[in-house]
Structure 1
Amino acid sequence: MRVLEWLALLVVCVTFLPESVRSEPLVPCFFVFGDSLVDNGNNNIIVSMARANYAPYGIDFPLGPTGRFSNGLTTVDVIAQLLGFENYIPPHSQASGSSLLSGVNYASAAAGIRGETGRQLGARIDFTEQLRNYKNTVSQLVNILGSEESAAEHLSQCIYYVGMGSNDYLNNYFMPENYDTSNRYTPEQYADALANQYRQQLKTLYSYGARKVAVIGVGLVGCSPNKLASGSNDGITCVGKVNNAISFLNKRLTTLVADFNNKLEGSKFTLIDTFNMLGDILRNPGAHGFTNSNAGCCGVGRNRGQITCLPFQIPCTNRNQYLFWDAFHPTEAANIVFGKISYIDSSNRYCHPYDIRTLALL
């Protein structure tokens, strides 16, 4: 009887064995485009104030400060692990040779959909430039794999993670002292302009071989410690005008994804709704283990969000209980929650029409 019970337990364990401990990842490659939420070192080598290659950033990361804007893992690190990749996806600044076959991270802090976004922070790699870097990668893959057909087949199986737009609000539209977009556009007009440009950029990505694409909606920027510090009377209530403006873009992204799936042959786009994902966490942070959801673990001033985490500043010790690591970015604990929900959306609430695991299996 004990033998039968042991065998039954073994079957259960094998059945639910996560992709992260299997010998082969669920997909052959994972490509990442975005901003500081997923930058893992590309800004380290450019002249920019948007850098995180100093302590205490990376305090809980095995490799220390790498340029990740968190105390540890980013959301794409978590997703890569869940997909079964043994190694972190390398930043474009370090990727070369056969490592390109497994994917590249092109993300750059302060980058946006619009080219001018983030310019007050110095150099950054906007989405259009990230696409140029990816195009160069594709050319290298053609040489490695021997033909355009082989490269196209390889790329068609990859997961593409595209998370742009936060800075187009944070470091553009809601920074009238540096940009005139809020004078030129109403929030809805600005959302139209962003969505139209984003549509063309994503079509370019498709033309370079991307087929399985996760478009990440813009989150609740108005609930970040920085915006709470500057625009919330009580330091708790989110800044409505910021979140309302962002919601206009997210609605257009829903339409964009549906259009692509209907019109682009072989495409499988999905939208990850981080706006409502974060909103639900903020309504019940304790359910996810968070005791603080309105202040940075590392930062200066009101909500520890007026000035972001400074070099060698001593952060909070209970980092796993904080939703935000600094003035703008989540902790590793929060990124694990976001990554897991994006990978398997058991509620069918946040990922439309697929979660990332389903997208990988298509």
Structure 2
Amino acid sequence: MGAQKQNKAQKYRPQQKNIAQNLLRQARDTFLVGALPIALVVTTPAVAQAFTGLYVFGDSLSDTGNVYRLTGNLFPPSPPYFNGRASNGPLWVEDLATLLGLPVDPNKNFAYISATSGDTNTAPIPGLPGLQQEFQQFQLTNPVVDPDALYTVLVGNNDYLGGGQTNPAVPVGNTIDFVRSLADSGARNILVSNLPDLGKIPLVTGDPTTSAGLTALTTAHNALLAGQIDLLRQARPDLTLISVDVASLLNNAIRSPQQFGLTNVTDACLPFSPGLELFPTQPACSNPDTYLFWDRIHPGRVGHQQIANTAFRAIESAAVPEPVTTLGMFTFAAFLAGAKAKRRKLKGVR
């Protein structure tokens, strides 16, 4: 899938990688770290960092309103859901955009609730796309691909939850093919997340057999995905491939909820299973920010904030690319100048 264009890009020099990493840390540390665990790592970025935009692909964990608009603002029902998101607040990609100093542009979000990694969608709504159609939509609206933007991919949950998939090689293969297609079209900075342990979502924890099976599938999926990403890094040194470990984040939150300001990591605040039920029949809890799960499948806004923090730290530790375009060079220069000025200001008040 995708045009097979081979774009040239320089390898990133180690000294520039180190400089960029240090500046990212300084820019982050300049601002207040939230006193509560639900706060984002950074409240307001000083300058836009090296990326020129944020493009989003995936499923309900990343869909900021595409299905909502297609259904005439009917699904997911809002309220109790937040403005068409499958959660009670902004999603991790929106929080990540804030951390990176980038605008949240709905025209750059191609994720759809219930999308699988293939060409199907498990929602009982005709015509919704899978990941492969998301790429086709992206190509139609982006004939020229921005090499200095960041592209996020989080997909595979619905292959197992509603798609009946029992072979992790299939969704992992689809995901890697998708990343290759993005790269072949001109993308150079691609963030790929693994899957949370689906055996721990409230929808299935009451059924030990189903829970154990989903845990086994997602564990195998994540191991295979990590190996394939490593192979792709070796084959395509021109790319910056950023891995985000959502699985470990979820497991840590369940083991140590107090570190995240949570008190309930097993139940759903809203006892509702989107896709299996039409509308909620019971009210949401009164303290959703103390719950890890908003409904029986999806994390709440606190969970999404923590995913964004995890993604930001992964970006921080990865190689920040030399900009390819003139606009990217200008943005990167602004980032360097802003961080340097902030460092001088801080030095003067010590």
- State the partner residue of 2:258: 286
- Alignment counterpart, residue 312 of structure 2, candidates 319, 331, 343: 343
| Cα 1:342/1:120, change in 2 over 3 Å | same
- Specify the SS of the correspondent of 2:192: strand
Contact 1:159/1:360 (CA < 8 Å) preserved in 2? no
Report the counterpart of residue 156 of structure 2 in structure 1: 165
Instruction: Give, in angstroms, the shift of residue 277 of structure 1.
Output: 1.6
State the Cα deviation string for residues 11-53 of structure 1 (Å, max 9, x = none).
Answer: x999623583324344211111010011011112435999325
Secondary structure in structure 2 of the residue aligned to 1:316: coil
SS in 2 for 1:37: coil
1:111 to 110, 115, 119: 115
Counterpart residue number, 1:16: 30
Alignment of 1:125 with 2:129, yes or no, is: yes
1:314 positional shift: 2.8
**CA offsets per residue over residues 227-282 of structure 1, 9 Å max, x none?**
124x149xxxx912111111111111111111111112411112212112211111
**Structure 2: which amino acid aligns with 1:315?**
A
Give, in angstroms, the shift of residue 198 of structure 1: 2.4
Question: Which whole-Å deviations, capped at 9, do the CAs of 1:76-125 have from their partners, x for residues lacking one?
Answer: 1111110012x3231xxxx3xxxxxxxx1100001011223416453322
Say yes or no: does 1:249 pair with 2:214: no
Does the 8 Å CA contact 1:212/1:360 hold for their aligned counterparts? no
Structure 1 partner of 2:316: 357
Contact 2:77 2:279 survives alignment (8 Å): no
1:72 aligns with 2:86: no
1:137 and 2:151 are equivalent in the alignment: no
**Paired residue for 1:327, among 296, 300, 308?**
296
Amino acid at match of 2:153: V
Query: Cα distance, 1:167 vs. partner?
Result: 0.3
By how many angstroms is 1:317 displaced? Answer: 1.4
Q: Secondary structure at the match of 2:56?
A: strand
Q: How does 1:72-221 map to 2 (within 5 A)?
A: 72-85=89-102, 87-90=103-106, 95=107, 104-118=108-122, 120-139=124-143, 142=144, 155-173=146-164, 181=165, 187=166, 190-221=167-198
Other structure's SS at 1:277 match? helix
- State the AA in 2 paired with 1:242: L
Instruction: Say whether the 8 Å CA contact 1:35–1:108 is kept in structure 2.
Output: yes
Contact 2:45 2:100 in 1 (8 A): no
Q: 1:88 to 1:116 in 2, by over 3 A?
A: closer
CA separation in 2, counterparts of 1:80 and 1:259?
A: 28
Structure 1 CA distance, aligned partners of 2:269 and 2:60? 17
- In the alignment, the residues of structure 2 paired with residue 75 and residue 210 of structure 1 have an alpha-carbon distance, to the nearest angstrom, of 21
- 1:260 maps to amino acid: L
Task: Read off the aligned partner of 1:211 and give its amino acid letter.
Answer: R
Residue 43 of structure 2 contacts residue 99 of structure 2 at CA under 8 Å; is this kept in 1?
Answer: yes
Structure 2 portions without partners, runs of 5+: 1-25, 32-41, 322-350
Greater length-normalized contact order (CA 8 Å, ≥ 6 residues apart):
2
| Counterpart residue type for residue 233 of structure 2 | N
What's the C-alpha RMSD, in Å, of the aligned pairs?
Answer: 2.8
Moved more, 247-256 or 22-31: 22-31
Report the AA paired with residue 286 of structure 1: Q
Percent of aligned pairs with the same residue?
22
With structure 2 as the length reference, what TM-score do the two structures score?
A: 0.74
Answer yes or no: is the 8 Å Cα contact 1:31–1:160 preserved in 2: yes
Distance 1:84 1:259 in 2: 31
The 3-state SS of whatever aligns with 2:60 is coil
Q: Is there any run of 5+ residues in structure 1 with no aligned partner, and where? A: 1-11, 59-64, 96-103, 143-150, 174-180, 182-186, 345-354
Displacement of 1:72 in angstroms is: 0.5
CA distance in structure 2 between the partners assigned to 1:14 and 1:196 by the alignment: 35
> Structure 2 vs 1, CA of residues 169 and 53 (structure 1 numbering), >3 Å: closer, same or farther?
same
Instruction: Confirm or deny: 8 A CA contact 2:113 2:123 kept in the other structure.
Output: no
2: CA distance between counterparts of 1:13 and 1:138? Answer: 31
Q: For residue 106 of structure 1, what is the amino acid of its counterpart?
A: F
Distance 2:135 2:66 in 1: 14
Cα deviation, residue 319, structure 1: 1.1
Answer yes or no: is the 8 Å Cα contact 2:191–2:242 preserved in 1: yes
Instruction: Describe the shift of the 1:261–1:34 C-alpha distance in structure 2 as closer, same or farther (beyond 3 A).
Output: same
* Distance (whole Å) between structure 2 residues aligned to residue 137 and residue 288 of structure 1: 39
Partner Cα distance (1:89, 1:305) in 2 = 25
2:75 matched to 1:51? yes
**In 2: Cα distance, 1:50 partner to 1:254 partner:** 37
Cα distance in 2, alignment partners of residues 14 and 135 from structure 1: 34
